Amino acid sequence: INAEYMGVRPGMVLLQGALPLDLQQRLADATFALSVPEQGTCGGWYRAEEGKMLLNNGDYGYYFEEVSAFPALYRDLCLQYMMMAHQLSPGNFPQMKPSLVLVNYYPPHSGGIWWHRDNSASERESAARGSPVISISIGDSCDFLYKDDMNEVERVVCLNSGDVLIFGGPSRLILHAVTKIYPNSKPKDLRMQMGGRLNLTFRQQDDEEG
């Protein structure tokens, strides 16, 4: 895998262009297919309301499943990127075993997602240990903001299609947000069923050993 390495801060690295276009296409196709509702029930990003299928959370849609529910390519890529992070930034990332995939979809004119930490109830212990989060961006570019505390001034990283952001260790519990999607900024040869940004995030649940 070819990528341009950017050390953002201790415990956070950005692998720019790490996901080549052909794999972006494969992941986009497979992820959109997994989200298609069946028999009027919610299959992922959408919910039925008054005969219309809407995003299941305002400015963005989401769903999450165990990594075993996705094609093997998902887990394989996650482990490759984790290995790259260990090689490029040794000592900053504990080992991790990806067990959960969170899928976010942001429409072209989405307002993004506001400040939060990735420490849901199912990952509190692994997050406290610094088990990394691996985030893959596909589609339109976005502004990713981060800081340690709410009273700090945020910093911004632009995430483009094919970029992989990894944060763990001392950066595992950073506050972060997505505040802007740049419509029509995806690679011209990337075909997506809808415009916008697709984000795949890999995490380790507490019942898994790294």
Convert the pLDDT of each residue in 141-177 to its tens digit.
999 999 999 999 999 999 999 999 999 989 988 999 9
Would you state the pLDDT for residue 27? 95
* Paired tokens of 18: 């790490």
CA angle 146, 60, 192 (to 5 degrees): 105
Q: Kindly report the pTM of this predicted structure.
A: 0.89
- The two beta strands, 113-116 and 175-182, are antiparallel
Helix (H, G, I), strand (E, B) or coil at 33: helix
Confidence band of 122 (pLDDT split at 50, 70, 90): confident
Nearest to 102 by CA among 92, 90, 116: 116
Query: What pLDDT shows up at residue 159?
Result: 97
Q: Which structure tokens are listed for 4?
A: 């341009």
Residues in the chain: 210
Express as a percent the part of the chain with pLDDT over 70.
85
